[in-house]
Amino acid sequence: MIIHQPEIIRKNGYAILYAKIEMAKKRENFPERLWYRVPERFAPYLKVQGDAFLVAGLLAGMYFKEDIEVRGTVSPRLAYHLEEYQFVLNLRTPDAAHPVSIQYEHLSPVEGNPTGVGATFSGGVDSLFTIWSHLPQNQPDPNYQITHGIFIRGFDILHNEKDNYQQLFTQYAKQASEIGVDLIELETNVVSITHQRLNLSYFYGPLIISAGLAISGLFRRFYIPSSWDYYTLQHTAHASDPLVDGFLSTDTMEIVNHGSTHRRIEKVEKIANWEVAQKILWVCLEAKFREHSWNCSRCEKCVRTMIPLYALGVLDKFKTFEKPIQKNREILWYARKFNLRSNYLSEMFPYLKRKKPELLPWLVVTTMLGYLRHLLITYLPKAVKHGLRRYGYFVSHNDAPDAYENPEVTQLIQGHYDHSST
């Protein structure tokens, strides 16, 4: 696998940083080029450094067991740690990630002295908690206060869901600016690397980090909001946690996985009275957007988030839930999408016992019903599941092989590439 020298295109008010990826063997639905697109005002911060492409491309190399040759420049610090990084990924996911050798053409840090502090800004519990923790009132050291957020298109929100993205971006940008954070619209196709190959819930870390590394001229520090706390990480660490994310730091950008010290429910509690969170929280897995209420209130993640907010008596302040829980018995909704593997029950019970014990009987009933449902679904024959797909069940909005590509950008890059070749 060859990761070619990155290039930058400026067009239509945007700047695109891209690099050609050449696999040793033809791979079905594998992107020919990886790219990141940001508004043109951020163009000066895009650097033709290979770090972002290596971090994302390495996942593909490890998955396909293809050694890597990097034609662009790579940070010496990143290069130093990649052997250990690969070792840990392989130890944790031996079937999915195999160590490969990496050949570097040129090792050198990014030129310049970046000053920004960034984080991903998806509007979820983890990301809002990380932003909240680094507000000036909670983080006195200005070197750790977040100056920029990245809202990625082509990750939770697909390229063809432009309206949904814009709707959220507008709201997020407004709220972000009120707390002194400059929100960056970033579009990328990096998820095509793992799509239909690796479970995104486990391998999202390097992809998000690569987005931060793409704007390497801006960030000296970049936070990855943790999805897992230290209790969960004991059993389910994969490709994002405080240990492995840190290996992807470069000479000029420190990668910090933030928030593993708090369980998800504790994070919900911390942001429960934060007005910004009340206005923009977005946790929904269903991606059925309504104006100002972009959480369906039915999916597992919505209900799991609403329960602690309801227990704290602040759910009515969160305007983004379409149908918030209003009575104790409505907790039974949780049973409808209940997932035994979600790991959050262990924190839910003690929390409710402490905050609102009268909810416990309902949670017990929910767990029993949800468990039964989960068993039924698990043992449903494949043929039945397949049949039910035509009625909208067992269908994911990102099933298409090219779900994480944007043909418009791909064509633009191809045009630029053809032009520069001739």
Partner 1 sequence: MIIHQPEIFTREGYVILWAKTEMNTQRSGFPKYLWYRVPEKYASNLSLQSDAFLIPGLLGGMYYREPIQVRGGISPRLAYHLDEYQYVLSHTMSGAVQPVGIQYERLHPLNANPRAVGATFSGGVDSFFTLLKHAPQNQPNPEYQFTHCLFINGFDIVRKDNKRYKTIFAHYQKTLAEINIELVPIETNVANTIVPRLVYNQYPSVILAGSALALGGLFKRFFVASTYDFDMIQKGIRCSSTPLMDRLLSTETLDFEHHGANYARAEKVAAISDWKLAQENLRVCGMPELGTNMLNCSQCEKCTRTMIPLYALGKNSKFTTFQRPFKSNKDLLRWARKFSPYSGFVRETFKFIKKYKPSLLPWLRIAAFLGTIRYCILRLIPGFVKNMLKNYGYFNDHLKEENAFDNTVVLEWIRHHEKI
Secondary-structure percent of the chain, ordered helix, strand, coil, rounded to 5: 45, 15, 35
| Interface stretch with partner 1, choices 77-85, 113-121, 155-163, 179-187 (CB under 8 A) | 77-85
Provide the mask over 143-172, with x wherever binding to partner 1 is found by CB under 8 A and - wherever it is not: xx----------------------------
User: Judged by CB, which is closer to partner 1: 117, or 284?
Assistant: 117
User: Judged by CB, which is closer to partner 1: 19, or 74?
Assistant: 74
Please state, in angstroms and rounded to a whole number, the distance separating the CA atoms of residues 222 and 195: 24
Please state, in angstroms and rounded to a whole number, the distance separating the CA atoms of residues 207 and 205: 5
Tell me if 91 contacts partner 1 by CB under 8 A.
Answer: yes
Closest by alpha carbon to 198, among 297, 59, 313? 59
**C-alpha count within 13 angstroms, C-beta hemisphere, residue 404:** 25
Buried b (16+ CB within 10 A) or exposed e, 8-17: ebeeeebbbb
Tell me if 71 contacts partner 1 by CB under 8 A.
Answer: no
Tell me if 138 contacts partner 1 by CB under 8 A.
Answer: no
Tell me if 394 contacts partner 1 by CB under 8 A.
Answer: no
Binding-site member from 260, 295, 297, 305 for partner 1 (CB under 8 A):
260
In whole angstroms, the minimum distance from the beta carbon of 125 to partner 1 comes to 19
| Interface stretch with partner 1, choices 84-92, 124-132, 338-346, 390-398 (CB under 8 A) | 84-92
User: Judged by CB, which is closer to partner 1: 84, or 275?
Assistant: 84
| Interface stretch with partner 1, choices 113-121, 226-234, 268-276, 290-298 (CB under 8 A) | 226-234
User: Judged by CB, which is closer to partner 1: 108, or 411?
Assistant: 108
Provide the mask over 296-325, with x wherever binding to partner 1 is found by CB under 8 A and - wherever it is not: ------------------------------
Please state, in angstroms and rounded to a whole number, the distance separating the CA atoms of residues 112 and 45: 10
Tell me if 95 contacts partner 1 by CB under 8 A.
Answer: no
Question: Residue 327, class by beta-carbon neighbours within 10 Å (0-12 exposed, 13-18 middle, 19+ buried)?
Answer: exposed
By CB under 8 A, how many residues form the interface with partner 1?
A: 23
Tell me if 115 contacts partner 1 by CB under 8 A.
Answer: no
Please state, in angstroms and rounded to a whole number, the distance separating the CA atoms of residues 79 and 102: 9
User: Judged by CB, which is closer to partner 1: 129, or 334?
Assistant: 129
Closest by alpha carbon to 30, among 57, 51, 9? 57
Tell me if 250 contacts partner 1 by CB under 8 A.
Answer: no
Find how far residue 261's CA is from the centre of its chain: 19
Question: Residue 43, class by beta-carbon neighbours within 10 Å (0-12 exposed, 13-18 middle, 19+ buried)?
Answer: middle
Tell me if 83 contacts partner 1 by CB under 8 A.
Answer: yes
Tell me if 347 contacts partner 1 by CB under 8 A.
Answer: no
Find how far residue 162's CA is from the centre of its chain: 18
Give, for 15, the enclosing helix (H) or strand (E). strand 14-22
Find how far residue 380's CA is from the centre of its chain: 30
Binding-site member from 24, 43, 107, 365 for partner 1 (CB under 8 A):
107
Are the C-beta atoms of 38 and 72 separated by less than 8 Å?
no
> Rule CB under 8 A: which residues touch partner 1?
76-77, 79-80, 83-84, 87-88, 91-92, 107, 141, 143-144, 230-231, 234, 237, 242-243, 246, 260-261
